[in-house]
Every structure is written in structure tokens, then in C-alpha cells.
Amino acid sequence: MTRTLLTGNGAAAWGARLARADYLPAFPITPQTEIIETLARWIDMGEMDCRMATLESEHSMITAAGAAAATGVRVFTATSSQGLLYGMEMLYTVAGWRVPLVMINVSRGLAAPITLETDHNDILAARDSGFLQLHCATCQEVVDAVLLAYRLAEDPAVRLPVIVNLDGFHLSFTREPVELPDGDLADRFLPTFDPGPGEIRAGKPTSQAVAVLGGGPYSYFRYECHLAALAALEVHRRNVDEYAGLTGRRYDALECYRADDAEVVFVMLGSFATKAKAAVDQLRQAGRPVGLVRPRLLRPFPEADLRRALAGKVAVAVIDQNLSIGKGGVLHGEISGALHGVSGAPPVIASFIGGLGGRDITAEEFFEIAGQTARAAESGQVPPPRLLYTLHELAEMRKLQAIAHVERQEEVPGP
């Protein structure tokens, strides 16, 4: 093991290098670009045996990624935000091809308005695509998740592509100490790529991704994909055990932090959960029994684990760093669905929306969320969904609007 300082992007690149990815179809987009630049440099310097192709769009990039995986090589690629959505058609398509590949998504808010900063609407738009999803909270987790993702994707019982998600700026450009696994350890954990049953080569004709006629075959193949994703729960459990044995680092489908004896539990995804952890420690010091549950694996959805982790709690506060327009927090709906009708399910599952477009979530806000959620449990009244937004922010917004208003009036031509 080598201990070094890496950004989340650097850690993602190291994951690809340790996995001995053969092929890198690429397209630049902030805040992901550092990943492909790092890999390109290693390839140029002869430090990594990999072929890179810069495509003209993410749609083409994901097509090339899927086609290369179907032809029998280990593929790594990366994107973010608008790029993920530009390639969305091909996410569904290559997942249906049942090709194992790993793609990084560096989460960034979606236009409009356009922004570079992080939230999870991009990755959650890919929720139903057939790509499995691993969500990271630290740079260490990024490098480890890439190896776990390949192992999961290439398992014969799974054969589905995997997205490893990390938050733009907060992880992508933040340096943290990272223990890099040694190359031979990575090789032991991740065997040589197996092209699977349908590789494309001469003398072994195959037709892939063909059309079907009628709902019967269509339903069959789609449901087979779903069953493979569900099978990934058990496969991942085994992989996590093995990886923990090799590295001492454990990445269960759920990260449960001081959750066992908690009465109120925060549930959230990604790097902002580290802020929640700090708040949990402070709340605990103040004698408040609060904990955190963070799904690392979002697809397949670790429903049974969530039920176990959350049953018997007094209340749950789901903090969504995303917004389903016209509905609310996506994770809130997922957690509510998982707990519905379960004996011992928490009577209060409160919804908070925060951290959109990189907006911070402060310790005070976590304290307030914990307080409101605990009071809701006492009163039995589930509070309406809340947007985390301060009076100060509103005042700043009003100033911007005032400037915009003045500017517009100045542009109005005179009589």
C-alpha cells in the first residue's frame, strides 16, 4: 500500500490504472476532465498500457465504450452532468447489451440555469438505466469503488455496467490522503477480463443488441436485466468481504454511522454525508441520539439492508441533494417505498432538500433538521418537505434580482 495525497479525480484515474483498463473512450467536461487528462498522461508516458480515443460527444463515447466491451476488452470512461444526459440513450442501450464496463460520473447540477457545482440530479437521472451505481464520500472510497465496480460488473451472474459517482469539486478537486492498493493486490482481487459469451470476432459470429418483436421477448430480456441487478446485491456483499480481507477497508452497501442506537437517523448520499457525520458527532456530544445511514450502493437498491438499519427508529430525515421537479427529493421517495408496510418502520420520514448546485449544508442546519425531525416524531405530525435556504441567502438573491432589474430598465430604449 502507498499512502499519497490525491484528488477524487486522481483517485478515479488510479482506480482505472490499478484495474488495468484496456480502453478509454473519452470526452472532456468539467469537473471530470482531470481524470482523462491524468490517464492520457500515463498512457503517453508508457506507464499505463491502455488505448485512448477522444470521441466527439458523450453519446458516442458511451457507444464506443459499450461496443469495445462487447468486443472483449476492459473499458473505463468518465463523464459528468450534461454529458451524462447527452449520453443517456446509450446508458440504457449498453446496459441492455449486458456489457461490463465502469464509468465515473462526477456529479454536477443540471442546466438550466447552468452551473459547474455539484448536486445529484445528473446521476439520479440515470437511476433506471440498468447501470449499477456506487456512490462515494471520500477520495479513498473512489479508488476502492472503481475496483469493486469492475469486480461487480464482470461477475458472470451480473454482467452489467457500473457507474461510480463522486461529487464535483467537493471530491473531484479536493486532495485527501489515499492508501493506494499495490498492483498485485489489485490483480488478485480483479482477475483478467473475461469477454463473456458473445464477444465479437471472426470465426465466432454473433448478433448483439438485435431487435425483438412483441412484448414477450422484450419483457423477458428487461426482467432478466433486473434480476441480474438484484443478484448483484449478494455478489457485492461477497466482493466487499474479500476486499476488506485484502485491504482492511470495508464498503458495505450501506455506511451506518452511530446508527445502531440512534433514534433519529439522517439518510443521504455522497460526500456531503461527511458533513452529516461531523454534525452527528456534535449532536452526540450534546446527548442527542442521532446517526447517519448512507447508501453506497444505490442500484441495485439495498432495500433489505435499509429496512434492517432503519426499522425501530423514531424518525428518519432524508436529505436529498437533488430535486425531482414536481415531486421533491428522489431519495425520500426511495426510502419511503422501502419502509412502507414494514413492521417497526419509523413513523416519521421527513424530507429535506439541500446542497443543490454546490450550496453548502452547515452544521447548524443538520442540528435543525435533527431537532425538527425529533419534534415531528413527538407530535406525530410529519412536516412538509423543506428546502434548506437561509434568510441571508434570500437577501443575497434579492440583491442580484435588484441588479438584474436595474440593468434591464437601463436597456429599455427611451421614448
Partner 1 sequence: MKEPMYKSARDLPSAHLLGAGTAMCAGCGGLEVVREAYDVLGENTVFVNAAGCMTLMSVYPFTPFRGSWLYTAMASAPAGAQGVRDALDIRRAKGELEAGDDLEVVVLTGDGAGYGMGLSATSAAIDRGLDFLYLCYDNEGYGNTGQQTSPATPHGARTATDGALAGVAGEKKDLFGIWVANRPTYAATVVGSEPLDLARKVARAKSRSGPRLILALAPCPTGWGFEPSETVAIGHLAVRTGIWPLKEYVDGRVEHTRRPHPRLPVTDYLKTQARFAHLFEPEPNEQVLAEIQASVDAYWDAVE
- Using CB under 8 A as the criterion, which residues of the chain lie in contact with partner 1 when the complex forms? 22-23, 25, 51, 53-57, 59-61, 63-73, 75, 89-90, 93, 200-213, 217
Closest to partner 1 by CB, 29 or 61: 61
| CB-based contact 103:93 (threshold 8 Å) | no
Q: How many CB atoms lie within 10 A of CB 50?
A: 20
Closest to partner 1 by CB, 70 or 316: 70
Q: How far is the CB of 27 from partner 1 (least distance, A)?
A: 10
| CB-based contact 329:315 (threshold 8 Å) | no
Q: How far is the CB of 107 from partner 1 (least distance, A)?
A: 24
Closest to partner 1 by CB, 82 or 208: 208
| CB-based contact 228:159 (threshold 8 Å) | yes
Pairing of the two strands 290-295 and 297-299: unpaired
Q: How far is the CB of 71 from partner 1 (least distance, A)?
A: 3
Q: How many CB atoms lie within 10 A of CB 148?
A: 26
Distance separating alpha carbons of residues 350 and 388, to the nearest angstrom? 13
Q: How far is CA 149 from the centre of its chain?
A: 12
Q: How far is the CB of 68 from partner 1 (least distance, A)?
A: 4
Q: How far is the CB of 75 from partner 1 (least distance, A)?
A: 8
Closest to partner 1 by CB, 31 or 66: 66
Q: How far is the CB of 211 from partner 1 (least distance, A)?
A: 5
Closest to partner 1 by CB, 87 or 358: 87
Distance separating alpha carbons of residues 93 and 101, to the nearest angstrom? 13
Q: How far is the CB of 66 from partner 1 (least distance, A)?
A: 7
Positive or negative: CA dihedral 11, 17, 22, 25: positive
Closest to partner 1 by CB, 206 or 381: 206
Q: How far is the CB of 172 from partner 1 (least distance, A)?
A: 25
Beta bridge partners of 328: 324
| CB-based contact 116:30 (threshold 8 Å) | yes
DSSP state of 182: P
Cis amide leading into 112 (omega within 30): yes
Q: How far is the CB of 117 from partner 1 (least distance, A)?
A: 28
Tell me the residue type at 166: L
Q: How far is the CB of 224 from partner 1 (least distance, A)?
A: 13
Pairing of the two strands 102-107 and 254-257: unpaired
- Can you tell me which residue has the cell 446527548? 287
Closest to partner 1 by CB, 87 or 300: 87
Closest to partner 1 by CB, 40 or 200: 200
Closest to partner 1 by CB, 96 or 168: 96
Closest to partner 1 by CB, 71 or 362: 71
DSSP state of 31: T
Distance separating alpha carbons of residues 383 and 26, to the nearest angstrom? 45
Cis amide leading into 300 (omega within 30): yes
| CB-based contact 147:16 (threshold 8 Å) | no
Distance separating alpha carbons of residues 157 and 230, to the nearest angstrom? 10
Q: How far is the CB of 86 from partner 1 (least distance, A)?
A: 10
Closest to partner 1 by CB, 75 or 350: 75
Phi and psi at residue 171, to the nearest 5°:
-110, -45
| CB-based contact 6:143 (threshold 8 Å) | yes
Cα–Cα distances in angstroms (integers) from residue 319 to residues 88, 145, 233, 336, 371, in the given order: 26, 23, 24, 13, 14
